[in-house]
Chain A
Amino acid sequence: MSVLILAEHDGKHLKQSTRQAVTAATAWQLPIHIVVTGNAIDAIAQEAASISNVARVIKVDGAQFAHPLAEDVANVITAIGKEYKVILAAHTAFSKSVLPRAAAVLDVAMISDVISITAPATYVRPIYAGNVFATVESADALQVLTVRATSFDVAANGGSAEITSLDAPVANTQSRWVSEEKNVSDRPELASAHVVISGGRSLGERFNELLDPVALKLNAALGATRACVDAGFAPNDIQVGQTGTIVAPELYIAVGISGAMQHIAGIKDSKVIVAINHDPDAPIFRYADYGLVADLFDALPQLNAALN
């Protein structure tokens, strides 16, 4: 029996979170297989094969995977899933759409957003916006789970797995892809950046004007609160928190953010948290390693200047 990992990529490279899933998978001490779905993915399959501890890469190449739909990817997983002891993936929008669908077809429960694997079928996962850690045990013969990428190390290269091919199942007829709008940014990816600087709604229309220069100097990814995104000051894919992206950078800088528990849920594992807020009683200060009580409209330009 082996562990199967559902890989994620952007058409060119594997996502870093797939390497973190590999580290999580080593908990079972079983052979690790990675299934890569996509269109013209030889290079990506090679990349997966070079990750240490990976025994086999299963390449599923098909035109329908140029823009993968959960229905089609789930069909791949259910076709081969019964041969495995564990099916896992990083807890991303892609896998969150695919794995529950596959689990239901395979008639097994799924464990979402696992932060620690304490025994082969015992998991710790945050519930209630990270306010509680639950330890759950699964008695299913097949374990299906997603793991929180930031809780596991990035698996390095050093492997040379065999690459096999699997015919793509026929494309589904219930759904079709129409278009996508990817926010192009030259900043590092939010989920894996070493530094993240986030703003709240109080930055208003000056969100980018004030944060961009500092982010550039720190090579930081930009983040935002829900209130800031809802108000239209920042794009929705940079929302950080319980229902946005979970981050765990070396340095997290929260600017004009009150520190609601839904936001804290997404930043708690950061190494160093800095808060800049003009209200000394703002809850964010309870989580910050360094707090600065100041008006952000003064502090951000000063910070930018100090980083020269």
Chain B
Amino acid sequence: MKVLVAVKHVLDYNIAPRIKQDGSDVDIAGVKMGINPFDEIAVEEAVRLKERGVATEIVAVSIGGESSKDTLRHALAMGADRAVLIQTDVVMQPLGVAKLLKAVVDKEAPSLIILGKQAIDDDAGQTGQMLAALLGVGQGTFASAVTIKDAEVEVAREVDGGSETVVLKLPAVITADLRLNEPRFIKLPNLMMAKKKPIDTLAATDLAADFSPRLKLAKVAEPPVRKAGVIVGNVAELVEKLRSEKVIA
């Protein structure tokens, strides 16, 4: 069974984004980047499926510029077998990403496609569902457990107020939530070995006719800051303050 995993190269999750002087966008020049944390979980799940003898081949795919190869190498070091970079300098939005991923899925014909539930830069959380729609297959969003059963996959999903289990026919699209697994730590030798694994580069323009952004980013701004509060001396003082604010009885 072939598994395809989509990985996005994003600003490191520990770093607070900086806004460009003209407010046109976030400035990512020279800032530490890495694999989207949810995509790392997606790769880990694929690798575990392979270790359990369920998956036979893992293909990692990223859409973006040359620097996205760093994230593909991360996926290869974790255990992906090969990688595909869909190269473009166009600013990507979920619908365009889904269209390009569909083109790769049509070529590769994987049984399972795993994405992250959201990219931590645009916080959109749309691409997996859009890809499933374009492919006309079932979707298991916010997955916290994935079990392959013959020609189907059982997915436990994190939903508001609890969890839900669904079964999808393969091929299917899954989006990884935080609790699906804990990604392994990459050891240096694996990183060295990953350098020998192949990364194919395809031009986005060869794969899909229309992947251009539909939404125009008019501007970005800092959110309003909360004004600093006061430190109270003890619990009694705290309760008194909250009563005078009328937030407690």
Alpha-carbon separation in the docked complex, A235 to B163 (Å): 10
Within 8 Å of chain A (Cβ to Cβ): is B68?
no
Asked whether, in the complex, the Cβ of B226 is within 8 Å of the Cβ of A292, the reply is: no
Query: Of residues B140, B228, B229, which shows the largest number of chain A Cβ atoms within 10 Å of its Cβ?
Result: B229
How far apart are the CA atoms of A299 and B235 in the complex, in Å? 7
Verify A127–B238 contact, CB threshold 8 A: no
Q: Chain A residues near B167: list those with CB within 8 A.
A: 175-176, 178
* B143-157 interface with A by 8 A CB criterion: 144, 154, 157
Question: Is A139 an interface residue, CB under 8 A from the partner?
Answer: yes
- In the complex, the chain B residue whose C-beta lies closest to that of A67 is B164
Determine if B16 is an interface residue (Cβ-Cβ < 8 Å): yes
B218 touches A112 (CB 8 A): no
Q: A230 to chain B: which residues have CB within 8 Å?
A: 178-179
**CB of B209 within 8 A of chain A?**
no
Cα-based distance from A228 to B185 in the complex (angstroms): 21
Q: Is B159 an interface residue (CB 8 A)?
A: yes
Flag if B123 contacts A112 (CB, 8 Å): yes
Please name all residues of chain B whose beta carbon is closer than 8 Å to the beta carbon of A307 when the two chains form the complex: 239, 248
Q: Which residues from B are CB-within-8-Å of A176?
A: 166-167
Q: Are A94 and B160 in contact (CB under 8 A)?
A: yes
Give chain A interface residues in 101-156, CB to chain B under 8 Å.
101-105, 107-113, 122, 125-140
Report whether A133 and B220 are in contact in the complex, using a CB–CB cutoff of 8 Å. Answer: yes
Which chain B positions have C-beta within 8 A of A44?
Answer: none
Q: Which of B120, B124, B137, B140 contacts A112 (CB 8 A)?
A: B124
Known: A104-B129, A172-B138. A177 touches B242 (CB 8 A): no
Selected contact of A100 from candidates B129, B161, B177, CB within 8 Å: B129
Q: Which residues of B contact A113 (CB under 8 A)?
A: 123
A130 with B238, Cβ < 8 A, contacts A290-B232, A307-B248 known: no
Q: Are B165 and A131 in contact (CB under 8 A)?
A: no
Query: Do A135 and B221 form a contact, CB below 8 Å, given A93-B159, A100-B129, A251-B242?
Result: yes
For the complex, is A97 an interface residue (Cβ under 8 Å from B)?
Answer: yes
Q: Are the C-beta atoms of B126 and A100 separated by less than 8 Å?
A: yes
Give bound CA distance, A180 to B144, whole Å. Answer: 13
On whether the beta carbons of A290 and B229 are closer than 8 Å, the reply is: yes
A contacts with B: majority SS = mixed
B25 and chain A: residue at smallest CB distance: A134
**Docked complex: A29-83 residues within 8 A CB-CB of B:** 67, 69-71, 74
Decide yes or no whether B3 CB sits under 8 A from chain A: no
Least distance between B165 CB and chain A CB atoms (Å): 4
Give a binary string over B30-71; 1 marks a CB under 8 Å from any A CB, 0 the rest: 000000000000000000000000000000000000000000
Q: A69-B166, A102-B133, A174-B137 are in contact. Are A109 and B216 (CB under 8 A)?
A: no
**Quick check: is A285 within 8 A (CB to CB) of the other chain?**
yes
0 or 1 for each of B214-228: is its CB under 8 Å from A? (1 = yes): 111111111100101
* A101 neighbours in B (Cβ, 8 Å): 129-130, 132-133, 139
Chain B min CB distance to A107 (Å): 8
Which residue on B lies nearest to A91, using beta carbons? B125
Contact yes or no, B133 A74, CB < 8 A: yes
Q: Is B108 an interface residue (CB 8 A)?
A: no
Q: How far is the CA of A235 from the CA of B217 in the complex (A)?
A: 37
B162 at the interface (CB under 8 A from A): yes
* A73 CA / B221 CA spacing, docked (Å): 35
Q: What does the 1/0 interface line of B111-130 toward A look like (CB < 8 Å)?
A: 00000011011111111111
B235 touches A303 (CB 8 A): yes
Q: Are A182 and B95 in contact (CB under 8 A)?
A: no
Cross-chain pairs A/B with CB under 8 angstroms, 16 sampled? A71-B138, A97-B141, A98-B129, A103-B95, A107-B95, A127-B123, A135-B217, A174-B136, A181-B162, A229-B179, A237-B159, A243-B178, A274-B242, A289-B230, A294-B234, A306-B235
Q: Which 4 A-B pairs have the closest CB atoms?
A: A174-B138, A109-B214, A104-B130, A175-B138
Which of B's residues lie within 8 Å of A, judged by CB? 11, 13, 16-17, 19, 26, 93-95, 98, 117-118, 120-134, 136-142, 144, 154, 157-169, 172, 177-179, 213-223, 226, 228-232, 234-236, 238-239, 241-242, 245, 247-248
